[in-house]
A and B are shown apart, each in its own frame.
Chain A
Amino acid sequence: MVPLEHVLVFSAILFSIGLYGVMARRSAVLILIAIELMLNAVAVNLVAFAAYVDPQQFSGMVFAVFVITIAAAELGLGLAIVLRVYRMRTSVNVDDLDMMRW
């Protein structure tokens, strides 16, 4: 198997890409997609730790299950909100959604 560090680097790259997406994208749907990437990177990390560091209890895998669960819930809710916003503003552009500023 590959060294643990390589898996971690892989997950770090995925995470950073997701981070870039969250900050650089304007569409709410794309931001949600980028967040999925980040969550996914975290799940990879957890699975890697389960396999390399804690093979007896594999708690990391259980956590990965939970991460996937939460990610699904988050995506569902997020998209529902996006739909609602779109219906109110005909836009999913987060730049237009600045009602909650000063």
Chain B
Amino acid sequence: MELGAILFYVVASATVVSALGVVVTRSVVYSALLLVLSLMLTGLVYLLLLADFLALVQILIYGGTVSVLLLFALMLTRPEQKPVLTHKGWPLAALGAVVVLVLLIYQAVSTDWARTATAVSAAAGARAGAVASRIGPGELGAALFTTWAVPFEIASLVLLVALMGALVIARASEEPR
């Protein structure tokens, strides 16, 4: 077993464990911190999946921004007494999640991905069975500003609007509580 595979399994396991921690822990702060950990580990998975730039973005955004945002939000919304964080109906939720998981895994395993890959390559006009290569910031940037220029601009607009919306909504309001 090569190094990359071993690394993947280790990182993936860690990610899953920390993600489980996110949803079961009784402390909101731990939950948030575990989320950040889980997302940074996912960034490592991206690296293993040959997406360098994406890994960088993931770690920057989630490790940097999102964690700060979440911690601020938690700080600002501190409840008076220690709350119960999970519903009484959590076993039902767990059952639903497991069923979905089974369905997804079944689909993932039963699909003939090799054929799909051939079909996609054929549709793209490329030779089949091309070897995956590392996608760096240059390649992704070129793609974003040529083929995907319009969606990219729209995404930037969405971000702008979301920024303004968040400002308007979260601003200290004058009306009485």
Complex: A in contact with B (CB within 8 Å): yes
Residues of A within 8 A of B (CB): 1-2, 4-10, 12-21, 23-27, 29-30, 33-34, 36-37, 40, 43-44, 47-48, 50-58, 61-62, 64-66, 68-70, 72-77, 79-84, 86-88, 90-93
Tally of A-B Cβ pairs under 8 angstroms: 250
Query: A80, B97: Cβ atoms under 8 Å?
Result: no
Interface residue range, chain B: 35 or more
Q: Which A residues are in CB contact (< 8 Å) with B61?
A: 68, 72
Asked if B155 lies at the interface with its beta carbon under 8 angstroms from chain A, I say: yes
* Contact A29 B77, CB 8 Å, known A2-B8, A52-B113: yes
Give residues 121-177 of B contacting A (CB, 8 Å).
121, 124, 126, 130-133, 135, 139-140, 143-144, 147-148, 151, 155, 158-159, 162-163, 165-167, 169-170, 172-173, 177
CB distance from B60 to the nearest CB of A (A): 10
A43 to B57, CA, bound (A): 12
* Contact A58 B116, CB 8 Å, known A24-B90, A68-B61, A90-B80: no
Query: B54, A1: Cβ atoms under 8 Å?
Result: no
Query: A69, B155: Cβ atoms under 8 Å?
Result: yes
Selected A-B contacts with CB under 8 Å, 26 pairs: A5-B113, A14-B38, A15-B100, A19-B93, A19-B100, A20-B96, A21-B23, A25-B87, A27-B85, A29-B32, A50-B51, A50-B135, A51-B51, A55-B133, A57-B147, A62-B143, A64-B51, A66-B155, A73-B158, A75-B66, A80-B170, A83-B76, A83-B170, A87-B173, A88-B177, A92-B79
Given contacts A64-B51, A77-B162, 8 further A-B contacts (CB under 8 A): A5-B108, A25-B86, A27-B85, A29-B77, A36-B66, A53-B116, A64-B54, A79-B70
Q: Which B residues are in CB contact (< 8 Å) with A10?
A: 12, 15-16, 45
Q: Which A residues are in CB contact (< 8 Å) with B124?
A: 54, 56-57
Query: B169, A44: Cβ atoms under 8 Å?
Result: no
Grouping DSSP codes into helix (H, G, I), strand (E, B) and loop, the A interface class, with mixed when no group exceeds half, is helix
Q: Which B residues are in CB contact (< 8 Å) with A79?
A: 69-70, 73, 166, 170
Query: B93, A68: Cβ atoms under 8 Å?
Result: no
